[in-house]
Structures are given as C-alpha cells and as structure tokens.
Structure 1
Amino acid sequence: MLATTRADLLRLRRWPTLWVLVGVWTALQVTFSFVFPYLAYRSDDPATAFGGGGTAEDLLAGMLPPAVPSVLVGGTPMFGGAIVLILGALAAGSGYGWGTWKTAFTQGPSRGAVVVGTVAAVFAVVAGIVVWTLCLDLALSGVVALSASESLVLPGFGETARAVGGAALVLGMWAAAGIFLGTVTRAPAVSVGLGLVWTFVVENLLRGAANLLDGLSAVTDRLPGAAAGSVAGALGAPADGPDATPGVLTVLGGLPAALLCGAYLVAFLVATVVLVRRRDLS
C-alpha cells in the first residue's frame, strides 16, 4: 500500500490536471471571497454593488482574519466539492482509461492495495488543498486588514481547527464520491459529467421539489450535498441573507451533518473497494 501510495502521489504531482484544478479553486476562492467583496466595499454604494445588500462594515468584517474559518469552509460544499470530485473521478477513471490499473491488478500488488493507494494519494492532495486554502485566506485577509487600517487579530485556534476539520471532511466526502464514480463508469469524462450534474443540478432540483411535495424533504435533507452544506453552515458560513454562500445550508445540526458526511465517505470507499475486487477487469 505504501508503494502504491507513493506511486500515485508521484503520478498526481506530475499530472497537469491536478495543478489546473488547484488553480481554478484558488481563482474561485480569491475572486468570490475577497476580490468582489473588496471592490464592493470600496464602491460608492456597497449595498447594491455586485448584487450585494450588506453594509460596508459587514463586507469588511467578512474579509478580516477573524472571518477566515467561515471563509475557508464556506466554499467547500459546492465549488470546492466539485473540484475534488473531478479530481477523484479522473484519478480513478484514468486508471482504467490508461490501462494502468489493469496492469497493476494482473502483475503488481492486490487490487485492494492499488485502490487504497489511490485513495490515500487523493486524500493527501485534499489535505494539501485545505492547508493551502487556509494559508491563502489568512494572507489575503491580512492584506485587507492592513489596507483598511484594521488591527491584525488572528482567528481563534479552536475555531480554525474546527473549520479545517470540517473542510477536510466535506472535501474528503466529495473526493470519495468522485473515486466511486470513476470506478463505476471506468471512464473519466462520464464520471466527471455525472458528478457535476448531481452536484449542481439534481440535488437543487430535488430540494425545489421538496417545497411542493410533503415528506420529500426527509430525503433531500440527508443527501450528500445537504450534509456538506449543513456542516459548513454549522461552522459559521452564511446560509441566508445577502452574503449567503452557494451550497451552504442549515437543514441539519452540526453533529448529525458531520456524522452523515463521514458515513457517506466510508460508504463510497467501501463500495469502491468491493466493486474493484469483484468486477472483471475487461
């Protein structure tokens, strides 16, 4: 398992797709968490700039270092989740598409070791993305504080640790979902398409239908996106109002949402390993 993990880490590290995805996530985080709010804050009418609605003080407070934990976790349910889902789907689907998994299954270690190595490598990348995002948010919030002549007050350690754990849990769940889809379809493009359709379309449509059909909310409130959004909402990401973050919800409490995310993560990984071990290679 250690050998396959090192091999997959090498593959991912030298894979241009990984750095493109990290670059896209970085651009999204910088643009929507700092650039647009800062431009609105500096505008003549912050309440209406960029379709906002908050005061200049509210906009500034959302960019200062104490707000970093909520900024970190706020983008993970939808946009960050989509990025790592793509990563997981491509990492697993390309193993079939390039024939590398077939070769490893027949000549190398056991199937379980190969899959676990890929999963560990993807999760290591996810952990790196979380740490990178935290450092980026802290640096940008510090720049905003200095430009606004505000004092540099770092967020509390406990609050930051909870946000890091919540972000890692949400992104890990979506990465596991991507690995499962890539394994099911054995085709990178199809698995990415299915994952994005579910993330951006299906769950939103089901939540809309739950407003019309009694009892459907009991199902929609326990889907992966709702669990991920509720984790972010419980950790302080805004779910309502003009500064609401897409994908953030409050339909579940923090602990039930975290447990449900963990259950989905484990279920996706177990299903992946079982499917790989029992399915024919062709």
Structure 2
Amino acid sequence: MSDLVNVTRAELAKLARRPATWVLLAAAVTLNQVFGFVIPYLSFKNGSGGAMTDGQTGAQLLASTLPDQVVTNTTGAFPVFTGALALVLGALVAGTEFTGGTLKTVLTQGPRRTSVFGGQLVALVMAVGGGVLTLFVTCAASSFAIAQVEDQAVVWPSVADLAAGLGSGWLVMAMWASLGAVFAVLLRSVALPIGLGVVWILGIENLVSAVARTSLTALQPLRDVLPGVTSGSLISSVLPAQVGPLPPGVQSAVSGGRGLATVAGYAVVATLAVLVVGRRRDVAA
C-alpha cells in the first residue's frame, strides 16, 4: 500500500509539472466558456439566435447562461469534446513511460508493477476530478457574472442536482481517462492511442449513432453500449431542467441507470486491463 501511495504522489507531482496537463485543462475551460457562455451571451446581446444557437430566442440564450444551468454548462461536453481531452491525458500518463524508456528505470527502484500502474490510475482519477471542479468553478463564476450584469435572479441548482451532475461527470471523465490509459499500455505508445481514441470519439461513434438512428436501425443494440452514447445518456439523466437543446453528445439513447452501469463497467474493465496487461507487458523493447 505504501508503494501505491508513493507512486500516486509521484504521478501527481509529474502531472503538475507537465505542461501538457495545463494545456489540456486550459483547452477544456476554453471550450466550456466559449460554447457555454461566450457564444450564447454575445448572440443574446446582438439580438439574434442564428445557426450557431439553433435559432433560440434572446430570452432562451440568456437563460442558458444563468446559474441554474451551471451543471449543464459544466458537464455537457464531457461525453464528446472534454472526454476526448481526458482520453489524451490518460494516454499521456500511461504511455509516456513506454515511449520515454523510463518504465524500466521506475521498476528497478522497487515498486511492483501493480503499484506503478495502479498509482498512475489513481492519479488520473484525482486529476480529472480536479479538472471537473475547475470547470464547475469557472462556469459558476461566468454564470454569476452574467446574472449580475443583466440584473437576473441568482438561483443555483439544488445540492442533490449538483452532486448528481458533478459525480456523474467525474465518472464519465474517469472512464475516458482510463480508456486512454489502457490503449497506451496495450500499444506501448502515446501518439497512436491518442489518434485512435480521438477518431473513435469524434468520428466513429457519431457515425454509428447517426446510421443506427436513421437508415440501419439494426445497429441500435451496438450503439447502446458505446462509451460515448452511454456517457451521454448518463449525463442527460442527471441534468436539471435545461433551457434550449441538449449539448452535442448528450442524449437519452438508454436509461440513466443503464448508462451509469455501462460507464462504470468500462472504467472497471479498463482499470483491470491496465493492471493485468501492465504486469505481463514486456518492457525490454
């Protein structure tokens, strides 16, 4: 247990000193701010909805930026865009030791392989949890500022809604990060897992979902077990009453309970795969 704790501390220290960590966090914050607040608010000020805002009225655009929508604005991008960033982080954490040739050096220092890979996974879960909290704080600050500027009532979601939304969002982000880690361990690299993962999230899943919804409904059972679809269904099930259309990737393809079970299952299987493969992986080449 002491080795696991020490490795986790070391991995967290490495994450804090790694520029890519802060770049990914900055990208996540920027995405949330631009699509959750900047575009809707500027469209509201301009008095037009337009294609970028699905033709919403000015009142709807303003309402979508207020504090009662903070859970939606924080977690709405997790199934797709922010989830892709979490997958990149997972691949970086687990794959850098292989590409840099440092895993052999780490293992010669004493910790067992299970402790090394377990510590990486624990650090990942803690890191994405910190990212979720950062996104919530920045979204809450923006929504509060807009409410003050526009003289709107400040009504926050209930504690239960906050806990359900942020907890589900943390689980979704942990799932994507663990999937990135398992791809990195299986492929012993960083670039290939990132490339394959991003193509899967942004391309293949959207294609399968669109085809299953329209021309080839026989693919619906496959669609309903995809990680992006189930995570989007989980997020959809815990959002408070939202204003306007759901964010991209957030849908109700399956029930919230099934989405929760599937997302948790992916995270558990990915964790076990990292530990099992990591113990048996040849690190000499």
Matched, 1:4 2:23: no
| Matching residue of 1:246 | 248
Deviations 1:17-49 (A, max 9, x none): 10110111111111110000001111132x326
Q: Which amino acid aligns with 1:70?
A: T
**Contact 2:161/2:240 (8 A) holds in 1:** no
| Matching residue of 1:72 | 74
| Matching residue of 2:103 | 101
The match for 2:195 among 177, 193, 196 is: 193
**Contact 1:182/1:188 (8 A) holds in 2:** yes
- With normalisation by structure 1, the TM-score equals 0.95
Deviations 1:154-174 (A, max 9, x none): 221111111110110110100
| Matching residue of 1:112 | 114
Q: Which moved more, 1:8-17 or 1:106-115?
A: 106-115
**Contact 1:73/1:237 (8 A) holds in 2:** no
**Equivalent-residue separation in structure 1 for 2:52 and 2:275 (angstroms):** 46
How far is 1:249 from its partner? Answer: 1.3
How far is 1:244 from its partner? Answer: 3.1
The match for 1:36 among 36, 39, 45 is: 39
Q: Which moved more, 1:12-21 or 1:92-101?
A: 92-101
**Equivalent-residue separation in structure 2 for 1:35 and 1:61 (angstroms):** 13
Q: Which amino acid aligns with 1:157?
A: V
Q: Which amino acid aligns with 1:236?
A: L
How far is 1:185 from its partner? Answer: 1.1
- Partner SS, residue 216 of structure 1: helix
**Equivalent-residue separation in structure 1 for 2:207 and 2:241 (angstroms):** 21
- Partner SS, residue 21 of structure 1: helix
Which structure 2 residues correspond to residues 119-130 of structure 1 after superposition, within 5 A? 119-130=121-132
Deviations 1:211-258 (A, max 9, x none): 32342111111110111110111122899x963311111101111101
Matched, 1:164 2:166: yes
**Contact 2:96/2:190 (8 A) holds in 1:** yes
- Partner SS, residue 153 of structure 1: coil
**Equivalent-residue separation in structure 2 for 1:62 and 1:234 (angstroms):** 18
Q: Which amino acid aligns with 1:258?
A: L
**Equivalent-residue separation in structure 2 for 1:205 and 1:49 (angstroms):** 22
Task: Report percent identity of matched pairs.
Answer: 35
Structure 1 residues 29 and 214 mapped into 2: Cα distance closer, same or farther (>3 Å)? Answer: closer
**Equivalent-residue separation in structure 2 for 1:246 and 1:49 (angstroms):** 14
CA RMSD of aligned residues (A): 1.7
Which structure 2 residues correspond to residues 256-267 of structure 1 after superposition, within 5 A? 256-267=258-269
Matched, 1:213 2:219: no
Q: Which amino acid aligns with 2:133?
A: V
| Matching residue of 2:280 | 278
How far is 1:58 from its partner? Answer: 1.2
Structure 1 residues 263 and 83 mapped into 2: Cα distance closer, same or farther (>3 Å)? Answer: same
**Equivalent-residue separation in structure 1 for 2:241 and 2:89 (angstroms):** 27
Q: Which amino acid aligns with 1:197?
A: V
Deviations 1:46-72 (A, max 9, x none): x32635311111111111111111211
- Partner SS, residue 76 of structure 1: coil
**Equivalent-residue separation in structure 2 for 1:192 and 1:238 (angstroms):** 34
How far is 1:127 from its partner? Answer: 0.7
How far is 1:12 from its partner? Answer: 0.6
- Partner SS, residue 247 of structure 1: coil
The match for 1:81 among 80, 83, 102 is: 83
- Partner SS, residue 263 of structure 2: helix
Q: Which amino acid aligns with 2:13?
A: L
Runs of 5+ in structure 2 lacking a partner? none
Q: After TM superposition, where is structure 1 displaced by more than 4 Å over at least 4 residues in a row?
A: none
Structure 1 residues 225 and 118 mapped into 2: Cα distance closer, same or farther (>3 Å)? Answer: same
**Equivalent-residue separation in structure 1 for 2:149 and 2:70 (angstroms):** 17
Runs of 5+ in structure 1 lacking a partner? none
- Partner SS, residue 63 of structure 1: coil
Structure 1 residues 139 and 79 mapped into 2: Cα distance closer, same or farther (>3 Å)? Answer: same
